[in-house]
Amino acid sequence: MGTFLEYFDLMLYVHMAVILNDLFFPKTDPHTAALISAFAFCSTWILRPFGAIIFGYIGDNIGRKAIVVMTTLMMAVSCILMANLPTYAEIGIAAAWIVTGCRILQGLASMGEIIGATIYLTEITKPPRSYPIVAFLDVASSLGGVVALLVASIVTISPKFDWRVAFWIGASIAVIGAMARSRLKETLDYSDMQRRMKNTLQESYHDKLGPAAELLKNLNPIWKEKTDNKVVKYYFLMSCASPLCFYITYVFCGDILRKNYGFSPEEVIHQNLIISIFAMISLTITALLSYRVPPLSILKAKVFIMFPFLVLTPVFFSLGNHYYVNLIQFVFIVFGLAINPAYPVLLKYLPILRRFTFASMIYAVSRALTYIITTFGCVYLAEWFGYWGLLMIMTPISVGYYSGIKFFEKLEEDYPEYLKRQASKKPDWLKRLNQLSPASQRR
């Protein structure tokens, strides 16, 4: 429920950008307008790495629950600001800066929310049940996008419907979401690890062990726990694929439909609505399928379907018929290269007390980097090399995604041996934690 509410608020501006960019940004030549639109789109993700540092610390030191409540309230504040914001015609360039700031705030909130919800559900469930449960977060976020598109369609069809009402609706449901999430309990995995670490410190202190003095001086000994650098690298490579598919589907194809085929903003929004419904159906099927089929096998099947279309994308864009553009949208959104339903598989290779920090940083950096490359890269590469220039972005990202799948498949095949290798790398204090007797833990 919380994810649905968050993504309704986040995607409301994205799908209404064809209208709102004209209200909040100055009118310029087409090339400059494309760059301004790209900047407005990127602003949602560009500062997410800084948010990942803040949210990562809170999530790993205070708890998962605090994040999901805090981010929902942040989304409500940004919607209230945008609902009351004067247009460019009223206050000039200040409107552009304020709306960009609101988009940044929304981006930070959505990042903390989706990672918090993913980790929360992963830690309170066990495979194979965790695969469809976590995957339904994507279904909920997609549903939020569909409802946002419905609202955007109403705004464009009915001149009497003020677009500001949409953001007031978004603010209201965000507040409701925060109230609902305040009733959640902390996850068992996180609470248990915090308790065990506290017991370890007390045991070391009472037994007067050598490391005790050093541990007590260091307020955050959890940062000494080792993380597999290869896990982080391939997790990152897989995370870069989803924003690429999203941008090509909704933003790049939307611009082509407007510029090359004369689609009106209303027609673009209507087309995106249809695509989003297909996306939601596809995500639902994938989530249900993951209970019976290994998640990494599902992702590999999507890769084999997507690769031929990736290579042929420039050809379809050049055929001179908007139905081929619609086909690209359909394939990229239905068979898009995303991590779900494999999040529980990837997250278990990150240490519990650093899981939120690493997962949120990977999520933030991958999206900030990929969206910057795709938004500005597509503007210039399409201008210099035609549609074939898109392959310079899509090919390396797709290859990195597939290499990530292969890497985690190998880890899954040899998971017990992986745990032994990681245990040998743990610092003495963590080994001590894992060796505590039940009586010591109770004390």
DSSP conformation class of 250:
I
Q: What is the DSSP letter of 292?
A: T
* Separation between Cα atoms, residue 289 and residue 162, nearest integer Å: 41
Which whole number is the average pLDDT over 161-179? 75
Closest CA to 336 of 280, 260, 294: 280
Dihedral angle over CA of 210, 216, 217, 223, nearest 10: 100
Angle made by CA atoms 308, 313, 319, in degrees to the nearest 5: 125
> pLDDT value at position 300?
93
The pTM of the full predicted model, rounded to 2 decimals, is 0.75
Q: How many CA atoms lie within 13 A of 3 on its CB side?
A: 20
Confidence of residue 295 (pLDDT cuts 50, 70, 90): very high
The pLDDT of residue 219: 41
* The predicted structure's pLDDT at residue 368: 81
Domains and CATH numbers, the chain: 2-442 (1.20.1250.20)
How confident is the model at residue 72, as a pLDDT? 76
**Rounded Cα–Cα distance for residues 249 and 336 (Å):** 10
CB 185 within 8 A of CB 312: no
pLDDT of residue 223: 43
Distances (CA, A) of 174 to 5, 86, 100, 154, 177: 6, 22, 20, 21, 5
CA pair distance 124, 180, nearest whole angstrom: 18
pLDDT score of 88 more than 60: yes
Note the pLDDT of residue 109: 75
**Judging by beta carbons within 10 Å of its beta carbon (0-12, 13-18, 19+), is residue 31 exposed, middle or buried?**
exposed
Whether the per-residue pLDDT at 151 is higher than 60: the answer is yes
- For the ranges 166-170, 171-175, 223-227, the lowest mean pLDDT is seen at 223-227
The phi and psi torsions of 85 (rounded to 5 degrees) equal: -75, 130
Confidence at 238, pLDDT banded by 50, 70, 90: very high
Band of pLDDT at residue 43, cut at 50, 70 and 90: low
Residue 421: is its pLDDT beyond 70? no
| pLDDT single digits (tens) 374-410 | 877 777 777 788 888 888 888 999 999 999 999 999 9
Measured CA to CA in angstroms, residue 420 lies from 196, 222, 406, 426, 431 at distances of: 20, 19, 21, 10, 12
